[in-house]
């Protein structure tokens, strides 16, 4: 008896270059789908973000949010446009709302050097930079919870709060990931200054006790910024607080070609959103210039996360196609110093799929 497993993928193109880059990722998914035995996709598209706010007054309509919750996985472009804010002036952050409401606590940001030409660092061959930053997504300095502002305008305060539950689950995710990779896990903290980080470090070592095969290390966040540039090859899995993860993942993307090639996932227990690490890039939106690789690689992460032997294989095939496409250093979009359009880069990846 043969039965087909249908995965429902909610696609949220969003604003700016979001629709352009998600269109290419969906083309890649549609092209690879027929080769997967017993697996099928059903896509549904939903309008979210600043454009949706201008239409309906809500950047994250409940219908779209419910679709995200019910889908097997979500593929998101990017959301937000300059000057589109709530009436009280607050910035719109529907992507953070999705993370918090679906409790997507783990934010893996894989950093992989596909081609030596794309790194500003000298002497690094393809594949020699290969690590994953695991960003804690739901607490830490990034959330507005606990923030205050004095009514007289004299001061403002943000709060860096970490919980045992939050630290435990993100460390466990990082160690489990390390077990599937090179078995090294680095905590990036600031335990020399912040008591919250002493707490994080204590829990990191408690979780580490369950993973005796994994080599552990702690590094201060400022030193991590230095070592990323001096010896990025020494890292495998790094786990860190929300804001540190946000900053370090942009730095790390810069080591391998920039934001246009940096994918990401936001993972919960049974929901997950995959999106490029970059934003809506309003400066180049609508011009067909955006690099779709970060979104295509995010789609590959999504296939791996779905965790079916066929989708895992398909995700790997997409990564191999990107690797093969980038062997020719003349084939790049503008952000990586080339002349290909968004569509031409999509075509190039498709041509390497078979």
**What is the binding site for ligand ATP (CB under 6 A)?**
17, 21, 80, 259-260, 278-281, 283-284, 290-291, 294, 335
251 Rama sector, left if φ>0, alpha if ψ -120 to 50, beta otherwise: alpha
Of the two residues 96 and 178, which places its CB atom closer to ligand ATP in the complex?
96
Q: How would you classify the pairing of strands 263-267 and 272-276? A: antiparallel
Of the two residues 49 and 197, which places its CB atom closer to ligand ATP in the complex?
49
CB of 200 to ligand ATP, least distance (A): 24
Q: Are 118 and 257 in contact (CB under 8 A)?
A: yes
CB of 19 to ligand ATP, least distance (A): 12
Structure tokens at 113: 């050097």
CB of 95 to ligand ATP, least distance (A): 8
Of the two residues 178 and 248, which places its CB atom closer to ligand ATP in the complex?
248
CB of 82 to ligand ATP, least distance (A): 9
Q: Pick the closest to residue 208 from 237, 228, 242, 243 (CA basis).
A: 237
In angstroms, the CA 343 to CA 95 distance is 26
Which residues are CB-neighbours of 45 under 8 A, at least 6 positions away? 10, 11, 12, 13
CB of 178 to ligand ATP, least distance (A): 27
User: Between the CA of residue 111 and those of 133, 226, 253, what are the distances in Å?
Assistant: 8, 16, 6
In angstroms, the CA 186 to CA 174 distance is 9
Of the two residues 17 and 191, which places its CB atom closer to ligand ATP in the complex?
17
Of the two residues 91 and 125, which places its CB atom closer to ligand ATP in the complex?
91
Q: Pick the closest to residue 169 from 113, 116, 210 (CA basis).
A: 210
Q: Pick the closest to residue 312 from 127, 10, 39 (CA basis).
A: 39
Tell me the residue number closest to ligand ATP, measured at CB. Answer: 279
Of the two residues 237 and 294, which places its CB atom closer to ligand ATP in the complex?
294
In angstroms, the CA 265 to CA 201 distance is 24
CB of 231 to ligand ATP, least distance (A): 26
CB of 290 to ligand ATP, least distance (A): 4
Of the two residues 240 and 277, which places its CB atom closer to ligand ATP in the complex?
277
């Amino acid at each position: 008896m043969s039965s087909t497993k249908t995965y429902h993928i909610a696609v949220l193109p969003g604003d700016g270059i979001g629709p352009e880059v998600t269109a290419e990722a969906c083309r890649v998914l549609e092209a690879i789908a027929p080769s997967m035995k017993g697996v099928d996709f059903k896509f549904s598209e939903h309008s979210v973000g600043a454009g949706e706010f201008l239409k309906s007054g809500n950047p994250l309509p409940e219908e779209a949010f419910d679709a995200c919750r019910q889908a097997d996985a979500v593929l998101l472009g990017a959301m937000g446009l300059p000057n589109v804010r709530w009436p009280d002036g607050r910035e719109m952050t529907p992507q953070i709302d999705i993370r918090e409401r679906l409790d997507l606590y783990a934010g893996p940001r894989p950093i992989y050097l596909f081609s030596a030409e794309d790194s500003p660092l000298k002497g690094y061959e393809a594949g020699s930079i290969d690590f994953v930053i695991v960003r804690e997504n739901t607490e830490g300095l990034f959330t507005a919870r606990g923030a205050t502002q004095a009514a007289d305008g004299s001061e403002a305060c943000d709060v860096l709060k970490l919980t045992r539950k939050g630290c435990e689950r993100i460390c466990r995710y990082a160690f489990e990931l390390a077990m599937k990779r090179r078995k090294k896990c680095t905590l990036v903290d600031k335990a020399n200054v912040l008591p919250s980080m002493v707490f994080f470090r204590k829990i990191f070592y408690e979780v580490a006790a369950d993973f005796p095969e994994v080599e552990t290390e702690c590094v201060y966040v400022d030193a991590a910024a230095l070592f990323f540039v001096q010896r990025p090859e020494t890292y495998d899995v790094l786990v860190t607080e929300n804001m540190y993860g946000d900053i370090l993942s942009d730095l790390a993307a810069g080591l391998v070609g920039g934001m246009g090639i940096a994918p990401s996932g936001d993972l919960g227990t049974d929901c997950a959103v995959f999106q490029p690490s970059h934003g809506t890039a309003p400066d180049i939106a609508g011009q067909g210039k955006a690099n779709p690789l970060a979104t295509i690689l995010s789609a590959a992460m999504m296939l791996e996360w779905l965790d079916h032997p066929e989708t895992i294989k398909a995700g790997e095939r997409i990564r191999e196609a990107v690797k093969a496409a980038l062997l020719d250093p003349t084939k790049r979009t503008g952000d990586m110093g080339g002349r290909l359009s968004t569509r031409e880069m999509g075509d190039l990846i498709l041509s390497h799929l078979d």
